Amino acid sequence: MDQFAHLLESARPTAIGMTFGFAFMTALELLIPRTKQSAAGRIQGLFFWILWIPATAISFAAFRALWAAIGIPPLIVLPLDFSWAGVLAAAVLAPLAGAFVGDFFFYWFHRGQHAFFWRFHAVHHSIRDMNAVNAFHHPSEGVIQALLYLLPTSLIVADTGPAVPMMTVLIYFQASFIHSPAAIHLGPLRHVLVDNRFHRIHHSLQEEHFDRNFGAFTTFWDRLFGTAWWPAREEWPDTGLAEVDQPRNVREWVTLPWRFGRPEARPVPELPDSPAMVQ
C-alpha cells in the first residue's frame, strides 16, 4: 500500500506537467493555428496517452524497485541545486540546469531508439496530424526508456534539490510544446532551447531531415554532435512515415512495430492540411 502511495506521489509532477501542457498548448493551437487539425485526432491521441501513462508508470516503478534491490548507488552526483545563488535564483536555475543535463541523456537515448528500436519508436514518427496531444508513443516505450534512459541517469544524478518536481513539470510541458502546430516559436531563444519548428524537422517526411534534431529541451547537444538542422523561416514540413499510416485504433497502435515495412501496411493517408483534417 505504501509503495502504491509513493508511486502516485512520484507521478504527480508528471501528471501536472502533461495536463498543463496539453491544455495550454491545445488552447494556443485553436487560437493561433499554423495548421488546423481534427478534434477526432486530439481525442484519439488523448485516449492512447490514458493507456500509455499507467503502463509506463508500472515499467518505471519496476525498474526503480529492481535497482533499489540491487543497491547500486550513483557513480557521480552533479551538484546543481544552486543553493549558493539564493532561493529565487535557485528556483529558476536548478530546473533549467537539471533539464539541460537530463537532455544529454535523452539525446543519446533518442539516437539509440533510432538505431536499435526503430520499429517501436516508429509509432511516434508515424503521426501525420501531430499536435500537443496527438504525439503518443508505443506501449513498449516505458520499458525501452528504463533500459536506455533511466539506467544511465540513475548512475549519474543531477542533484537539483527541491527543484525536481518543477523540473519534471518543465520537461513534460516542453514535450507538449515541441509537438504543437501553434503559430509560435521562441524567437532568439530558439538557438538554445528546442521549439516546435526545430522539433518539427525531426518528424519530417523529407529525407534530408531524417535523423536530425534529437534533443527535446536544448539544441546544444545537436549542435555539439553534428545533428542540428536549423529550419528556415517558413519551413514547416509534413510529418509521418512513408512506410505506414499512423495508428487509428488500439490494435493498430499495438501491432504497428510488427506491421512496419510490410507492403500491405502502406496506405496513402490524407495529408494534415487536407479538408478532412480541418476543423
What's residue 273's pLDDT? 44
What's residue 7's pLDDT? 53
Q: Are 131 and 180 in contact (CB under 8 A)?
A: yes
Length of the chain: 279
- Distances from the Cα of 47 to the Cαs of 33, 182, 250, in angstroms? 22, 21, 9
Dist CA 51 CA 225 (whole Å): 35
- Distances from the Cα of 242 to the Cαs of 15, 119, 127, 148, 246, in angstroms? 33, 14, 11, 27, 10
- Per-residue burial over 128-151, b if 16 or more Cβ lie within 10 Å, else e, is bbbbbbbbbbbbbbbbbbbbbbbe
How far does Cα 197 stand from its chain's mean position? 15
What's residue 272's pLDDT? 44
Domain boundary assignment for the chain: 2-273
E strand map for 9-114? 76-79
Q: 32 φ, ψ to 5°?
A: -135, 70
Q: Which residues pair with 204 in a beta bridge?
A: 239
Grid cell 509532477 is found at 13
Grid cell 524567437 is found at 187
E strand map for 156-215? 156-159
Q: Are 259 and 246 in contact (CB under 8 A)?
A: no
What's residue 86's pLDDT? 65
Q: What is the DSSP letter of 136?
A: -
Q: What is the mean pLDDT of each run of 10 residues along the chain (279 residues)?
A: 55 75 92 87 92 85 83 77 65 78 93 95 95 94 90 76 67 91 90 95 95 96 96 91 91 92 51 37
What's residue 64's pLDDT? 80
229 φψ region: left (φ > 0), alpha (ψ -120 to 50), beta (else): beta
- Per-residue burial over 191-228, b if 16 or more Cβ lie within 10 Å, else e, is eebbbbbbbbbbbbeeeebeebbbbbbbbbbbeeeebb
Is 0.75 topped by the overall pTM? yes
Can you spell out the DSSP letters for 221-243?
HHHHTT---PPPTT----BS-SS
E strand map for 45-201? 76-79, 156-159
